[in-house]
Structure 1
C-alpha cells in the first residue's frame, strides 16, 4: 500500500472528470468513515451521497497489480468517483482506522479464491494432457439465432441487388432513406457486424464532395457486403446442419457477423500464447461512426517472432464515460497469457495480466530486425491479404527502408534495391500532418531505418500506397501519429 500514489490512482481513473470528482470528495471531507485492514490489502469506508444513506465503497488490493473497486452507488463508471476518492484519501494522508474485513467482502474474496482454484486445476489438467471440459451448446437457442441471422442476410442481399440494379447515380433521397431504414432493421437479426457494414455504406452515400471518389468507395463497400452475404450464408448453413461444428477461428467472419469473442472461448480454441513480450509501435484514438463507438487502437510488435498485433479498446458512445480511455504505452509489456482473436493479419490481442519494463536499445534493434527489406515482397504480401473482400482494407506492416525522400510535393520510401513505395499522408486524419513532421527529423532518422506503415489500395488509381505510422531506429520509436 505504500506504493499507492496519486499518479497511480490517476492512471486507474476512466477520465479526467472522474479524477477531479474523486479529489473533490476528499477536499469536501465527504468520507465520515475511512478504514483499512491490518495487512493493508483493503481500504473501505462510507461516502456521503445525494441520498439519506451513504455509499459503501471499498478497494481490494488482495491482488496488488489488479485492485478491485466496489461501491453501492449506481454509477456506471469503473472505478467510480467514490472509490477513487477513497484511494486519494489514503494517498493524501487522511487517517484510516484499522478494522477487520467486512463479512460481505470476505465472502466475495472466498468465491474469487474458489474461481481461481478451479482455473488452476483446469490449467494443471491441461498441462497433464487432459482434454479441457468444453462448454455445452444450447442447440435450440443456437438454431433459432442462426435462422434469424440467415433471414437478415437475405434482406441485405435484396437491398444490395436493388442498389446495384438502380445504379449509384440513380440513388436519391428516398433511396438513401430506405437503406437507413434497412440498417436499423438489421438490429433485429443478431447480426450487429453486418448492420455496421451497412451503416458504413450509408455514411459514404451521405458524404458531400467528390461524387466519383465516393462512388468508388461505395462500390468497394457493396462488394464487401455481397461477399459477407455469400460467405456468411454458407458458414451459417453448415453450422445449422452440424451445431457441434467448431466456430471459425481463422478469419474475422464470426466477428463480422457480430460475435463478441469471450476470452474463455479463445482459450478453448487454442487462441492463446504464453509469456509474450510486446513493444507498442503506434497508437491512435478515432471514432467509428458506423459502429457507434470510440476506438483506442495500438499496434505492437511481438519481440519473439515479429508479428504485428493490434489492440482495440472499444468505448460505445452510450457508455464512453464509464470506460477508461487508453493511452500510448512506451514500455515493453510482458504478458503471462496473450489471447489472440481470429484474423488473417494484425490479429487483435488482449491480456489479463502483464508487467512492464523499460524498453532498451536491444528491443528497438530486435523490432528493426523483423522488418521486411524488399518492397516487392511486402507489396505481394499485402495484395494477398486485400484480395479477400472481407479482409482488413488497411493492413499494417513493418518495413525496412534505405531512404525516405521527398520527390516533388510528395514523399517516397526506397528499399536497398531502389524500389519505391509511394507515401500517402492523407489516409489517417490527425491534427498533426505527417508531411509537417518528416522535415523536422534528423537525416539519420530517414536513412536505413524501419517504419510501421498502413497500406491502402487506391481504387481509382489501382495503386498501393503507404501511410507512415512510426519510424523505428536503434534507440527509439518516432511516432508520427497522435
Structure 2
C-alpha cells in the first residue's frame, strides 16, 4: 500500500477541530458501509451514511502524496468535509478496506488533471529554453467597462472625502457616520472592494467612543490615505483605459488596494516568481479584519538566500470561515519549488503551491542573524521612505541586530553597535501578553547581541518612530513574542 496515514497527519488536513471530531465519530458509529482502496494504494473511496436515503460517495486521491485531493457528493462547504476525513481516519484506525478498481468518473478526472500537469510542464520547459510565456486572453471591452465603473466609484468616494474635510471631523455625528456606511455599501457596485474596505476602516475609527483626540489623528491619516488612493487610482485607471495593452502595476500594491485579486498565472506572466526558495518563519499572528470582513492568518518569513522579509496572509471570509482551514505556526524550513511574489513594497506578500520541509538548524538561525540590519539610522531612513507614501504599509516589519535590550527612563530600547537607541512600543499589535513581561523570563544572553524581528509604528503627533518586538533570533532558536 502506497499511502501510510496517521491520525495526526489527518488532523493537519482538517479545517477545524469540529471537523476532526465529526470525522472520527463517523468511524466510531460505523457509518461507512463501503470502504475500498485501489491496488496501487493511491485512492481511498467508499460510501458514508448521510441524512438522506442515499449514501454520500467520497474519495481521497493520493496520486500526489503530499497533496491529497478529497471529493464528496455531500453539500458541505468544508474542505475536506467530515466524510472524506472519516474515510482517512478509517484507514488510519485499521478498518478493513476492500481492493477494487478505480471508479470511471475518478479515472476521467485523473486523466484531465494529468493532461493539465503535462501542459504546465511543457510551458515551464519552454520558458526555461527562453520562450516567452503565452499571454492570457483579456476581453478588452469588458475590462474597459469595469475600469470605467471603478472610476465612477472613485469619484463617489472623492466627493465624500472632500465634504468631510471641508466640514471638519468635529462636525460629524451619528447621521454623518450612517451616510458613510451607506456610501461604503454603495461602493460595492463599482468593483473596488479594496477601496470599500479602506472607507470602512475610517467608519470604524469614527465609531470609536473613547480617546477621541487620538482617534481623530488616525482618522485624518485615513482620510489622507483615501484621498491618495483616489488620486493615484484615477490616474492609473485613466492611463489603462487609454491604452488597454498597458501592463498592470507591479511595483506597488495599487492594484490590490483597488481590489484586484492577483492570480498566480498573472504573477508568472509578469515575472514575479522565484525558481526556488528556503523560508524560515520568524513570526505568526491571527487577527480579525472587520473592514474586509475576514480573518487573517499572517506569517513573516526570512528568505535564507538573501534575507528578504516576506509576508504570507491566509484569508478566511467571515461567511465561509468554518469551511476554510486555519493556518498555524510553522517551525520547519519551507523549501518551495516556485515562489510567487505579489506586488508590494518592503514586506511583499508571497505564496507557493508545492513545497517540502526540513528541520531548521543552528546555521539557519545564524544565517538569519547575519542579514539583520546593524545601523538603526539606516533602518529608520528606510522606514521613513516607505511610510512617506500614504498608500504604503503603515507598519513595516524589519529584521534588526541589537547589542542590548535595556531600560531607558520609563520604557525599553534596543541599542545597535554604535549605541543608537530604538524605542520599544507595545501599542502596534494588541496581544494578551505584553512582550516586555516576557523579557525577564529569558536568559540574559538572549537579550544581548542577538537579532529581532520588529514592527514599526509612526506617531503622527510626535513624529516619533517606535517598534514592537515580534521575535528574537538567537544562534540556537527563535523566541516568538506574538500569540
What TM-score, normalized by structure 2, do the two folds share?
0.99
Paired position in structure 2 for 1:330: 331
Matched, 1:127 2:128: yes
Shift of residue 480 of structure 1?
Answer: 0.4
Map of 1:256-335 to 2, 5 A cutoff? Answer: 256-335=257-336
Alpha-carbon distance in structure 1 between the residues aligned to 2:428 and 2:349: 21
Alignment pair present for 1:166 and 2:167: yes
Q: How much does 1:193 deviate?
A: 0.1
Q: 5 Å matches for 1:67-86?
A: 67-86=68-87
CA distance in 2, matches of 1:10, 1:409: 46
Q: Distance in 2 between matches of 1:298 and 1:140?
A: 39
Q: Distance in 1 between matches of 2:253 and 2:389?
A: 11
2:32–2:46 Cα contact (<8 Å) kept:
yes
Give distance in 1, aligned partners of 2:186 and 2:248: 26
Counterpart in 1 of 2:411?
Answer: 410
CA displacement at 1:88 relative to structure 2: 0.1
1:409 positional shift:
3.1
Alpha-carbon distance in 2 for matches of 1:443, 1:208: 42
Structure 2 residue 395 is matched with structure 1 residue 394: yes
Q: In structure 1, what is the equivalent of residue 55 of structure 2?
A: 54
For residues 245 and 77 of structure 2, the distance between their equivalents in structure 1, rounded to whole angstroms, comes to 37
More moved, 129-138 vs 88-97: 129-138
Per-residue deviation, 1:3: 2.8
Which residue number in structure 1 is paired with residue 376 of structure 2? 375
- TM-aligned CA deviation for residue 136 of structure 1: 1.2
Q: Distance in 1 between matches of 2:436 and 2:371?
A: 26
Q: Provide Cα deviations, 1:418-468, integer angstroms capped at 9, x if missing partner.
A: 100000012111111112111111110110000000001111211001000
Which SS does the other structure have where 1:437 is aligned?
Answer: helix
Question: 1:346 aligns to what?
Answer: 347
Choose 394-403 or 434-443, whichever is displaced more.
434-443
**How far off its partner does 1:2 sit?**
4.8
Q: Which residue of 1 aligns with 2:215?
A: 214
- Corresponding pairs, count: 482
Q: How does 1:134-145 map to 2 (within 5 A)?
A: 134-145=135-146
How far the C-alpha of 1:128 sits from its partner, in A, is: 1.2
**Aligned partners of 1:26, 1:221: CA distance in 2, in Å?**
53
Question: C-alpha offsets along residues 230-278 of structure 1, whole Å, 9 cap, x if unaligned?
Answer: 0000000000001111100110000000000011111111010011000
Q: Deviations over 1:165-200 (max 9, x none)?
A: 110011111111111110010000000000000000
Question: Which 4+ runs in 1 deviate beyond 6 A?
Answer: none
What does the per-residue CA deviation read over 1:7-35, in whole Å, with 9 as the maximum and x for residues that have no partner?
Answer: 00000000000000000000000000000
2:278 matched to 1:244? no
Give the aligned CA root-mean-square deviation in angstroms: 0.7
User: Aligned with 1:324: secondary structure?
Assistant: coil
2: CA distance, partners of 1:409 / 1:477: 27
Alignment check: 8 A CA contact 2:3 2:41 kept: no
In structure 1, list runs of 5 or more residues that go unmatched: none
Gaps (5+ residues) in structure 2? Answer: none
User: Under a length normalisation based on structure 1, what TM-score does the superposition of the two structures give?
Assistant: 0.99
